[in-house]
Structure 1
Amino acid sequence: MSSEHMQIGEVAARTGLSLRTIRHYDQAGLVTPSARSQGGFRLYTEGDVARLTVIRRMKPLGFTLDQMRDLLEATDRLDAGEVLTASEREALTERIRGYEQEAAEQVEKLRAQLARAEEFAATLRERLSPAPSP
């Protein structure tokens, strides 16, 4: 086995994803292992790990599997070095820009939720702290 290929356990450790989740993304067609070992084990490359990292970052922001697939397709086409017309390149860039804007909006919503959660935790801490003696 080439050192550039990793088995699923190493990929799971590097990405923080479970084996089950990685297999699910394979079945969903988001990240297909680049190769298989002679024994049939999935083998992944650095590129596969990078794709899984993108997916892992999109998931908590509420992106669907279809949206993940769409973004990966757009970035794959831009990165593949295929000959694209200016309008094709612009359309792909606009698709990616849309995801960037949606991600930024979701981050702001999460920041607001975090601020409310921190305020709530602070309120509880204050309530539990002993009252000052007179």
Structure 2
Amino acid sequence: MDDKHMQIGEVAAQTELSLRTIRHYEETGLVIPSARSQGGFRLYTETDVARLMVIRRMKPLGFTLEQMRDLLDATDRLDGDNRLDALEREALLERVRAYRQTTAEQVEKLRIQLARAEDFAAALSDRLEQDTY
């Protein structure tokens, strides 16, 4: 899966993130390119792209860079370290569960906001229809 390396432009197109945003996430340590080309260009793998997609999904839900870093750290450790003892594993899973709960709460808030926005758009349409007669 990680054999193919992509340059930043391809990653930007795939993730719908700007080059500037990807570079910012690199500067803040959220995602580090897996390699560099001989010319010094950033090279990314599918794993790097998946990490950027997690970040992209967290951003509109109001998560901070620190929260993103914390969740990514927890999932990285769960995915990569088979030497975790049961207590460490449970603590990491609890962190992920907390993010799942916060995400569910944020999604519900967004649903309410969307419903209100749709009601408002409908009210404006109704108003305009009244003036066309």
TM-score in same-fold range (> 0.5)? yes
Say whether residues 1:102 and 2:102 are aligned partners. Answer: yes
- Residue in 2 that maps onto 1:79: 79
Taking the TM superposition and a 5 Å limit, the aligned residue runs for 1:1-134 are 4-130=4-130
Percent of aligned pairs with the same residue?
73
RMSD, aligned CA: 1.6
Residue type of the alignment partner of 1:78: L
Change in Cα spacing, 1:126 to 1:72, as seen in structure 2 (3 Å) is same
Q: In structure 2, what is the Cα distance between the partners aligned to 1:37 and 1:131?
A: 62
Question: Any idea what the Cα deviations from partners look like across 1:71-101, whole Å, max 9, x if unmatched?
Answer: 0000000000431100000000000000000
Residue type of the alignment partner of 1:49: V
Unaligned runs of 5+ in 2: none
Q: In structure 1, what is the Cα distance between the partners aligned to 2:106 and 2:58?
A: 10
Residue type of the alignment partner of 1:107: V
Residue type of the alignment partner of 2:17: L
Following superposition, the deviation at residue 131 of structure 1 comes to 6.2
Q: In structure 2, what is the Cα distance between the partners aligned to 1:123 and 1:56?
A: 32
Relative to the length of structure 2, the TM-score reads 0.95
Q: In structure 2, what is the Cα distance between the partners aligned to 1:80 and 1:46?
A: 16
Q: In structure 1, what is the Cα distance between the partners aligned to 2:12 and 2:118?
A: 31
Following superposition, the deviation at residue 132 of structure 1 comes to 8.9
Residue type of the alignment partner of 1:74: A
Question: Any idea what the Cα deviations from partners look like across 1:41-78, whole Å, max 9, x if unmatched?
Answer: 00000000000000000000000000000000000000
Moved over 3 A (4+): 130-133
Per the alignment, in what secondary structure is the counterpart of residue 129 of structure 1? helix
Residue range with higher mean Cα deviation, 2-11 or 91-100: 2-11
Following superposition, the deviation at residue 109 of structure 1 comes to 0.2
Residue type of the alignment partner of 2:12: A
Q: In structure 2, what is the Cα distance between the partners aligned to 1:72 and 1:112?
A: 28
Aligned residues: 132
Unaligned runs of 5+ in 1: none
Q: In structure 1, what is the Cα distance between the partners aligned to 2:3 and 2:70?
A: 30
